[in-house]
């Protein structure tokens, strides 16, 4: 009997308990699936930067925060390299990047927080001190921001990459649940940022390759083409002096095809040669020049799928330019040296370069010697190998590490 004489059904209480347990499991599953979807969006943003605001908005929602911000302050240079947000409008972002990062009290107080750490605002700066700062009164308070939960994703010298969540003073502070979420997301954000940098680097290098008028084919160990720049694709599509077939490269004559296959085969086996091969053309246009060079091996069990060699094809009928700025960055050349190197890589003679830039041949030769010293070569043909191989290997090596 119950307290007032009503009969209690023991099965009913068991069913209620079972229902609560089932609901708890379902909520946990939904939460886990939501987190998995969020992690997927973070990696999608690494490949498509336009998705970062969407990813941050999802983080904001998952943490029940008013804003979620990803920013990269440089403490030494007093600037913000990048700032993205879910919840902050463009005006608030502009105000921070233009001025308020210099007086960010949370950032200054948390300068020694290590990479990977998740902290609350009160862990680095008590609220009674925060409210006395210019940063709070002129920036945070107008935005109705009082509470902070942050993760230091990266720390390199004076640079930081920080993911921060904010809340109003009118709601409770961040707790264990939000800290656990950030700790779960931190390694994924770190990997995604690394991927984003590799993608940006590959895109920049691909742009460099497509500015080169010399065709470049990257081959795997079996001789299959895995990367080709725009010039290479155009030369191959013409089929004039060089054809690309399922069996590999073919020239206009049997003897030249055999010589070409020996040249490519030697590079695939790791042989290094500065010798080139001339391929005549049925159209009567000037002959193509072809040379091949091996790429460094990494001993991977997946080596057969990795880049093994590069075949370069120079068509004297083609115009185009190679980026001197890109060569300067890749090989630590001065602007003058890079300009000379870019023209040498296009097959131009010292006399042509001197006339093009209004220099004496002696000045060009002096710059050329400096380029030779920095790249470790002795001849122009070797220089072309080094410059273009470096650009191509940098691209394929970045792809391989991904």
Q: Give the start-to-end residue ranges of the domains of the chain.
A: 29-200, 203-401
- Asked if 336 and 371 touch (Cβ cutoff 8 Å), the reply is no
Asked whether residue 54 carries a pLDDT value surpassing 50, the answer given is yes
Residue bearing tokens 């691909």: 206
User: How far apart (Å, rounded) are the C-alpha atoms in residues 178 and 63?
Assistant: 6
Tens-place pLDDT, residues 158-168: 999 999 999 99
How many C-beta atoms surround the C-beta of residue 109 within 10 A?
18
Looking at domain 29-200, its CATH architecture is 2-Layer Sandwich (3.30)
Q: What is the DSSP letter of 66?
A: S
The residue-averaged pLDDT of 355-361 equals 93
- Asked if 314 and 277 touch (Cβ cutoff 8 Å), the reply is no
Give me the pLDDT at residue 400, please.
42
Please tell me the least confidently modeled range out of 84-88, 126-130, 314-318.
Answer: 314-318
> Span 203-401: which CATH code?
1.10.10.10
- Asked if 391 and 375 touch (Cβ cutoff 8 Å), the reply is no
Length of the chain: 402
Tens-place pLDDT, residues 308-347: 888 888 887 775 556 688 778 777 899 999 899 888 876 6
Sheet holding 159-167, edge to edge: 79-86, 67-74, 159-167, 147-156, 118-120
User: How far apart (Å, rounded) are the C-alpha atoms in residues 328 and 341?
Assistant: 9
How many C-beta atoms surround the C-beta of residue 68 within 10 A?
25
For residue 141, how far is the Cα from the chain centroid? 36
Asked whether residue 99 carries a pLDDT value surpassing 60, the answer given is yes
Q: What is the biggest distance separating any 2 CA atoms in the chain, rounded to whole angstroms? A: 113
Give me the pLDDT at residue 381, please.
64
- Asked if 332 and 374 touch (Cβ cutoff 8 Å), the reply is yes
Tokens coding 398: 């970045």
Asked whether residue 171 carries a pLDDT value surpassing 50, the answer given is yes
Give me the pLDDT at residue 273, please.
57
């Amino acid at each position: 009997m119950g307290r007032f004489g009503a009969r209690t059904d023991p099965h009913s209480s068991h069913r209620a308990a079972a229902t609560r347990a089932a609901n708890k499991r379902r909520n946990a599953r939904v939460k886990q699936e939501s987190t998995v979807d969020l992690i997927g969006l973070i990696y999608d943003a690494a490949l498509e930067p336009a998705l970062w605001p969407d990813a941050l908005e999802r983080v904001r929602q998952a943490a029940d925060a008013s804003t979620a911000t990803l920013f990269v302050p440089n403490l030494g240079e007093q600037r913000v390299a990048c700032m993205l947000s879910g919840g902050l409008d463009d005006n608030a972002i502009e105000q921070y990047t233009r001025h308020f990062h210099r007086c960010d009290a949370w950032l200054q107080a948390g300068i020694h927080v290590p990479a990977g750490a998740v902290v609350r605002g009160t862990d680095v700066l008590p609220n009674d001190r925060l409210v006395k700062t210019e940063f709070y009164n002129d920036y945070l308070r107008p935005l109705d921001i009082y509470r902070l939960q942050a993760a230091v994703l990266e720390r390199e010298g004076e640079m930081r990459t920080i993911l921060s969540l904010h809340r109003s003073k009118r709601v409770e502070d961040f707790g264990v649940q939000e800290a656990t979420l950030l700790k779960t997301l931190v390694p994924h954000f770190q990997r995604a940022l690394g991927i984003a940098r590799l993608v940006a680097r590959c895109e920049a290098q691909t742009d460099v390759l497509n500015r080169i008028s010399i065709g470049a084919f990257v081959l795997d160990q079996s001789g299959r083409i895995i990367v080709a720049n725009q010039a290479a694709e155009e030369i191959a599509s013409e089929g004039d002096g060089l054809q690309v077939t399922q069996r590999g490269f073919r020239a206009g004559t049997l003897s030249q095809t055999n010589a070409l296959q020996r040249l490519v085969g030697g590079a695939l086996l790791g042989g290094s040669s500065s010798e080139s091969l001339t391929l005549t053309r049925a159209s009567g246009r000037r002959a193509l020049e072809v040379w091949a060079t091996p790429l460094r091996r990494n001993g991977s069990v997946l080596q057969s799928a990795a880049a093994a060699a590069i075949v370069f094809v120079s068509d004297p009928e083609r115009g185009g330019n190679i980026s001197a700025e890109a060569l300067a960055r890749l090989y630590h050349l001065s602007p003058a040296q890079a300009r000379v190197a870019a023209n040498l890589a296009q097959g131009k003679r010292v006399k042509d370069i001197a006339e093009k830039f209004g220099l004496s041949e002696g000045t060009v030769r002096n710059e050329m010697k400096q380029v030779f010293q920095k790249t470790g070569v002795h001849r122009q043909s070797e220089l072309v190998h080094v410059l273009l191989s470096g650009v191509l290997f940098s691209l394929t090596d970045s792809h391989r590490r991904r």
